[in-house]
Amino acid sequence: MEAEPLAVDVDRIMEDVRDRAARRRGLDPQPRATDLYLLRRHADVYHVALRARRPVVGPLVVALRRAVRRVLAPFLGAQVAYNLAGLRVLESLDDEAAALVRREAALRATVAMQAEALAALRRDVDALVRRERELRAAIGARG
């Protein structure tokens, strides 16, 4: 069952393949957590800090931006509501996905244990069947 000396290690290659595939699918939990953080941080597009650095023109620019924001308030409000609703859905799906992963791991463990128990039961049944045959043969030999 051994591979030739210069053969590659396909298990190692498959680890790389799976990593790259996971990154492509966006299932890697680390980037997903980062993305969720960014979505959360930037969901409220109304209460954005308005600052300006220039000493004289700066306050005028800020005042102008505030005025524009007030004008756009109905639209920005709708956008904030939309962003927050989307964020809630995504967070809820993320929680559900994490729960499903945990549940799957637990189920796999349960199935493995049950398979082991089943195999033991089948061995017991087979032993009983063998014993039954022996006993029948013994009875037959006597009678």
Partner 1 sequence: MRVAFVVQRYGAEVCGGAEAYARRLAEHMARHWELEVWTTCATDHLTWRNDYVAGETVVENVRVRRFPVDVPRDPVRFAALTRRVFGAGHEEAEELAWVDAQGPRSTALVEHVRTQGAAVDLFVFFTYLFWPTFFGLRAAPRPSILVPTAHDEPPIHLAVYRDLFRRPAGFAFNSVEERDFVNRCFGTEDVPQDVIGLGVDEPAGVDPARFLARHPELADADLVVACGRIEPAKGCWSLFNHFLRLRAELPDRALKLVLVGASAVEVPSHPDVIPVGFVDERDKQDALAAARVVVLPSPYESLSLVALEAWGVGTPVLANGACDVLRGQCRRSQGGLWYESYAEFREALTLLLDVDELRARLGRAGRAYVRRMYAWDVVEAKHLALARRVLEGRPVRAVRGSDPS
Residue ranges that bind partner 1, judged by CB under 8 A: 1, 3-4, 6-11, 13-14, 17-18, 20-22, 24-25, 115, 119, 122-123, 125-126, 129
How near is the Cβ of 8 to partner 1 at its closest, in Å? 5
Rank residues 32 and 40 by Cβ distance to partner 1 and give the closer one.
32
Which token pair is 86? 């989307």
Nearest to 73 by CA among 42, 45, 104, 101: 45
How near is the Cβ of 103 to partner 1 at its closest, in Å? 19
How near is the Cβ of 127 to partner 1 at its closest, in Å? 9
How near is the Cβ of 70 to partner 1 at its closest, in Å? 46
| Residue 66, C-beta contacts closer than 8 angstroms, at least 6 positions apart | 50
Q: Residue 47, SS3? A: coil
Rank residues 81 and 115 by Cβ distance to partner 1 and give the closer one.
115
How many Å apart are CA 6 and CA 110, to the nearest integer? 40
Q: Which amino acid is at 90?
A: L
Which runs of consecutive H residues, i.e. helices, occur in 9-142? 10-25, 29-41, 57-142
How near is the Cβ of 2 to partner 1 at its closest, in Å? 8
Rank residues 16 and 70 by Cβ distance to partner 1 and give the closer one.
16
Rank residues 18 and 66 by Cβ distance to partner 1 and give the closer one.
18
Rank residues 3 and 56 by Cβ distance to partner 1 and give the closer one.
3
